[in-house]
């Protein structure tokens, strides 16, 4: 079955879909309206960059004397002015913002996501990894490198932890050796960072020291080749001031071959024991929480009522739950939660807590996500297949504001498409293209799936062009979701954060 796209408007709609939830960067833009003072360029930085190239190519690990000492002195610390760094993109700001989601108030790092900036990029094994930093409200900072390594440090930890090193070990037969190091430095007088090896040689590691409000240094480096034997592997990392005094040290601890073998045996034993046991039934009773305080939000659906208080306590009352809904949630572990719009997120964010079904279930969202909420939900744990037994909706969906209904409708359409492409049958079918794909879809799904990029609401459409196959579903609200595959591999989609395809 073939279809021609002949509408100019449809074509343009396909060509560049609309943007939603774009990060407002006006504050960053407006800063440039005022003439900036003449930049004060440090004489060190160009020198350091040049020296770094020299060291990277010729002097990675050399004895601690002669020219190495001179260059190490130049490349140790690279000062960076926080305020002149490029603002982080919305995805990174969202990562920093989300650090506070789901964490109890006292543990939330309170990163100021709007202030997140890119400091530099580290090149490790030929791949560039960006370093992002953001100050926190406690006077500390959060950092991350390429979405992998990172962490947060409270302001009060600045004086107690001058050097923190994260490292990964590579296994060489039964012998271990550190392969990568990353970390942060809080000592303002830090001048040089050195990896010492077991054979007495060492390598100087450049680090970027970011000015206030961060006031900390960061590093990420691969251990140079040739340090993967017991006699040559890294021994420790040492931070020194300009006078050569040690400010902090991290010593690497390696397991012996016998210890590694014993550790593996212990893990195997534990796994075997766990597999042989019957999985225990876990219960999640409601804790004793205060009553929701005024002003409260109230709503209901399916015989379930919800009361969300100003104190973040949310109570679900299922006394009058309908039999159909009860069937979906009469389990030991449901997800009870609420949702709202949050900065940097293109769709409302839902936070849930696991609770066992009961007539009265209470959760505490204060400190995790403050009220007011757009709505609340109970997510059943009955397993989700395509087609979903509850029409891709949560077991209970309670709208506290009108916009919540739009969210529920859009999410159901996105979930439908995600569940469809995630199904076992589709994992095989989506690798096909052209006529073979059309034949397989017709065979397996009949008229449930239609050809073309503009299917009627409630149906899934598809197009196949060359190696690219795209599935499309429209929400009754007018929103259009799609997911495309190239040679069966996920290529592009706009289902997240409503649904998660794979």
Partner 1 sequence: MHAALADVEAIYRRALPSLCRVAAAVSGDREAAPDIVQEAFVRAVRELDTYRGESALEGWLWRIVVNTARNHRRSLRPTAELTEETAAQTNGAGEGAGVAAAIAALPERQRLVLFLRYYADLDYGSIAAALDISTGTVGATLNAGRSALQQLLTKQEVA
Write out the residues near partner 1 by the rule CB under 8 A: 1-9, 11-12, 14-20, 22-26, 28-30, 32-33, 87, 89-90, 434-435, 438, 451-453, 463-466, 468, 470, 472, 482, 484, 486, 491-492, 494
Gap between the Cα atoms of 257 and 265, Å rounded: 12
Instruction: State whether residue 376 is helix, strand or coil.
Output: strand
| CB 438 to partner 1: min, Å | 7
In sequence order, the β-bridge partners of residue 219 are 183
Nearest-5° Cα angle at 73, 165 to 205: 25
| CB 35 to partner 1: min, Å | 9
Gap between the Cα atoms of 121 and 118, Å rounded: 8
Cβ(343)–Cβ(92) under 8 Å?
no
| CB 446 to partner 1: min, Å | 18
CB nearer partner 1, residue 328 or residue 453: 453
CB nearer partner 1, residue 120 or residue 470: 470
In sequence order, the β-bridge partners of residue 339 are 350, 375
Residue 422 backbone class (left: φ over 0; alpha: ψ -120 to 50; beta: rest): alpha
Cβ(355)–Cβ(361) under 8 Å?
yes
CB nearer partner 1, residue 197 or residue 420: 420
Phi first, then psi, for residue 157 (nearest 5°) are: -85, -5
| CB 143 to partner 1: min, Å | 21
Gap between the Cα atoms of 206 and 131, Å rounded: 14
| CB 80 to partner 1: min, Å | 20
| CB 126 to partner 1: min, Å | 21
244's tokens: 């050569």
CB nearer partner 1, residue 15 or residue 65: 15
| CB 463 to partner 1: min, Å | 5
CB nearer partner 1, residue 119 or residue 205: 119
| CB 23 to partner 1: min, Å | 6
Gap between the Cα atoms of 396 and 412, Å rounded: 13
Cβ(253)–Cβ(237) under 8 Å?
no
CB nearer partner 1, residue 44 or residue 491: 491
Cβ(379)–Cβ(320) under 8 Å?
no
CB nearer partner 1, residue 247 or residue 413: 413
109's tokens: 């790092």
| CB 22 to partner 1: min, Å | 5
| CB 6 to partner 1: min, Å | 5
| CB 89 to partner 1: min, Å | 7
CB nearer partner 1, residue 326 or residue 491: 491
Gap between the Cα atoms of 110 and 135, Å rounded: 9
DSSP H or E stretch at residue 47: helix 44-58
CB nearer partner 1, residue 29 or residue 267: 29
Question: Measured between alpha carbons, how far is residue 431 from residues 180, 453, 487, 493 in Å?
Answer: 37, 18, 5, 16
Residues 6+ apart with CB under 8 A from 259: none
- Distance spanning both ends of the chain, measured CA to CA: 27
CB nearer partner 1, residue 26 or residue 502: 26
DSSP H or E stretch at residue 79: strand 77-80
For 252-359, list the strands marked E by DSSP. 297-301, 304-308, 313-317, 334-340, 349-355
CB nearer partner 1, residue 87 or residue 216: 87
Gap between the Cα atoms of 313 and 373, Å rounded: 12
| CB 5 to partner 1: min, Å | 5
CB nearer partner 1, residue 22 or residue 225: 22
Tokens 């449809």 sit at which residue? 10
């Amino acid at each position: 079955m073939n279809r021609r796209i002949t509408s100019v408007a449809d074509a343009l709609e396909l060509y560049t879909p609309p943007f939603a939830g774009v990060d407002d960067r006006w504050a960053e833009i407006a800063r440039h309206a005022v003439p900036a003072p003449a930049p004060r360029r440090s004489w060190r930085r160009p020198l350091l960059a040049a020296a770094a190239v020299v060291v990277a190519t010729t002097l990675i690990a050399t004895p601690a004397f002669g020219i190495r000492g001179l260059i190490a002195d130049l490349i140790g610390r690279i000062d960076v002015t926080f305020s002149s760094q490029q603002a982080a993109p919305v995805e990174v700001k969202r990562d920093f913002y989300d650090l506070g989601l789901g964490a109890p108030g006292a543990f939330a790092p309170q990163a100021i996501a709007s202030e997140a900036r890119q400091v530099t990029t580290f090149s490790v094994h030929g791949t560039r990894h960006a370093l992002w930093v953001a100050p926190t409200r406690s006077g500390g900072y959060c950092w991350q490198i390429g979405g992998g390594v990172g962490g947060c440090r409270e302001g009060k930890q600045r004086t107690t932890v001058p050097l923190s090193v994260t490292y990964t070990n590579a296994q060489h037969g039964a012998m271990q050796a550190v392969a990568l190091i990353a970390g942060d430095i809080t000592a303002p007088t830090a001048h040089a960072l050195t990896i010492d090896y077991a054979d007495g040689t060492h390598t100087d590691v450049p680090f970027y020291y970011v000015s206030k409000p961060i006031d900390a240094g960061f590093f990420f480096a691969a251990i140079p080749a040739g340090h993967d034997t017991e006699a040559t592997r890294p021994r420790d990392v040492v931070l020194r001031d300009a006078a050569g005094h040690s400010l902090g040290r991290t010593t690497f601890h390696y397991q012996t071959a016998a210890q590694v073998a014993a550790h593996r045996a212990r893990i195997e034993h534990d796994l075997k024991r766990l597999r042989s046991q019957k999985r225990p039934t876990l219960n999640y009773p409601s804790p004793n929480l205060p009553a929701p305080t005024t002003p409260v939000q109230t709503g209901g659906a399916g015989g379930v009522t919800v009361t969300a208080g100003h104190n973040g306590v949310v109570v679900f009352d299922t006394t009058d739950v309908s039999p159909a809904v009860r069937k979906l949630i009469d389990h030991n572990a449901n997800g009870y939660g609420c949702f709202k719009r949050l900065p940097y997120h293109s769709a409302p964010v839902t936070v849930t807590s696991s609770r066992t079904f009961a007539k009265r279930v209470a959760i505490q969202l204060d400190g995790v996500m403050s009220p007011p909420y757009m709505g609340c939900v109970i997510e059943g744990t009955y397993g989700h297949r395509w087609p979903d037994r509850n029409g891709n909706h949560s077991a209970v969906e309670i709208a506290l504001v009108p916009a919540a209904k739009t969210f529920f409708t859009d999410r159901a359409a996105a979930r439908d498409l995600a569940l469809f492409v995630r199904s076992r049958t589709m994992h095989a079918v989506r690798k096909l293209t052209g006529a073979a794909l059309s034949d397989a879809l017709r065979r397996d799904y009949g008229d449930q799936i239609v050809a073309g990029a503009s299917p009627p609401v409630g149906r899934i459409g598809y197009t196949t062009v060359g190696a690219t196959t795209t599935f499309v579903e429209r929400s009754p609200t007018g929103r259009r979701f799609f997911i495309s595959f190239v040679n069966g591999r996920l290529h592009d989609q706009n289902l997240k954060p409503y649904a998660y395809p794979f």
